[in-house]
Amino acid sequence: MPLRLYRGDLLLIAALLLPLAIAGPRLGWPPGEAAALLGWVGRVSGILGLAMLLVTAALSIRLPGLDRWFGGLDRLWWLHRLLGFAAFVLIMLHVLALGLVRVPAGVDVAVLTLFPPLSQLALWSGWLAWLAMVIFLAPTFQFFGRLDYQRWKRLHLLSAAALLLALGHALPLAGETWPWWLLGALGAGAIVWRKLLSPSLARHPYWVESVAPLARGVVEIALRPEGRALAYRPGQFVYLTPLDESLSAGRGEEHPYTIASAPHDLLLRVGIKDLGDASHALQTVSVGSRAMLEGPYGDFFAADYPQRDALWLGGGIGITPFVSAARGMAAADEGRGVQLFYLANGPDRAYYLEELTRCAGEVERFTVTAHFYRELGPLAESFLRHHCPDYAHREIYLCGPPGMIGHLRDLLDAQGVPAARIHCEVFDFL
């Protein structure tokens, strides 16, 4: 992730520091001796760790538009993971420091401080919160390998228990409790919205209008809004929940798909590649069946990026955000200097090439170049330079499989292209 501060980050920092600022006068600084310092570290890490846990929960809210305050949903999830991990480390430090500070009085005293009689509910509530964290964080950080996405999601619900137990630990021990009530309400509110309210309040009903095969294992589904259509920009994506009774898998499951249609299009289109059970079943979704859409999310072509000439590099199903943007430019008859490289294994896998070439014919200063891996191997710098001599000075957008993104990042890095000018969309949040 490029280092850049978004306006949402400032709110985040304020929320994280609030409980510490309120508790600050009671904590005392500077501590006189080493033992006091250890106790101070223990209390500060506990306050910061819990604030991070609650803010991490609040970040899971997933409200269309809010993600752009943080640079898009993938950056928001990245922050969510980063803060979740940091919260865990700080909570470990909290336990360790508060145990160590009692060691001079005797190891038994230290052990009793950490493991008091069961009647001390607040302390045991803290331990249970920690246990819940260990269980739901282990698969997130793949300590024991990767878990199936839906099972991972179910296990992640334990985070709600961790949050409540952690509050049960902090509230009886805190001097001022209102910052904890506030952050607790934000965290719990986000979980309640995500799990209970958003499925009925944030999803928009659509009908499957057509399913067009594009290549082996890839279809384009066109969806017609039942009521008000979603407003979106190129590069954004939706969560699609198919309700087709005849689906062999994935019925009622939400999955993210990038919008491939132009914003003014009456139908919303998504290109779907068979990558697993749910996307495989969608290849034969019934025309006339219902699907719920939630979004739009993402900020791939952010409006506040410099509006200089652009270089687009799309590969595999990662071509879809560029298809949306090209269709949009062709329909609005407005172009800016854009060179698109369509990276595909071969002509049979360049399923949007014909349409993109047609768009390029209609839009001034928009050109499309195909690059076929089976003929040419990985994209070489000389190929880029030959077709787009000023590529290194453009605003660069990448979307495609992880291997392709890694190769292109290395290539651009070797040419000294600043990371801030490279924008990347990943099709994998985990």
Ligand X SMILES: Cc1cc2nc3c(=O)[nH]c(=O)nc-3n(C[C@H](O)[C@H](O)[C@H](O)COP(=O)(O)OP(=O)(O)OC[C@H]3O[C@@H](n4cnc5c(N)ncnc54)[C@H](O)[C@@H]3O)c2cc1C
Q: Give the binding site for ligand X (CB under 6 A).
A: 149, 237, 250, 254-258, 270-273, 275-279, 317, 320, 427-430
- The CA distance from 123 to 352, in Å, is 59
CA distance 239 to 222: 15
- Give all strands (DSSP E) within 274-323, no chain letters: 290-297, 310-315
* Closest approach of ligand X to the CB of residue 272, in Å: 4
Residue nearest ligand X, Cβ-based: 276
Q: Is the peptide bond before 31 cis (omega within 30 degrees of 0)?
A: no
Residue among 9 and 274 whose Cβ is closer to ligand X: 274
Whether 268 and 238 have beta carbons less than 8 Å apart is answered as yes
Nearer to ligand X, 159 or 258 (CB): 258
- Comparing CB distances to ligand X, the nearer of 75 and 273 is 273
User: Could you give phi then psi for residue 247, rounded to 5 degrees?
Assistant: -65, 140
Among candidate residues 170, 179, 194, the one with its CA nearest the CA of residue 80: 194
Helices (H), 310-378: 320-332, 353-362, 373-376
Q: How far is the CB of 316 from ligand X (least distance, A)?
A: 9
Of 115 and 429, which CB lies nearer to ligand X in the complex structure?
A: 429
Q: Which two tokens stand for residue 18?
A: 């609030």
Measured distance CA(89)–CA(130) in Å, rounded: 11
Minimum CB separation from ligand X for residue 318, in Å? 8
CA torsion 341-345-347-351 (nearest 10°) is -70
Nearer to ligand X, 129 or 281 (CB): 281
- Cis-peptide into 205, omega within 30 deg: no
- To the nearest whole angstrom, how small is the minimum distance from the Cβ of residue 289 to ligand X? 17
Nearest approach, Cβ of 362 to ligand X (angstroms)? 23
Q: Shortest approach of ligand X to residue 256 CB, angstroms?
A: 4
Closer to ligand X by CB, 129 or 359: give it: 359
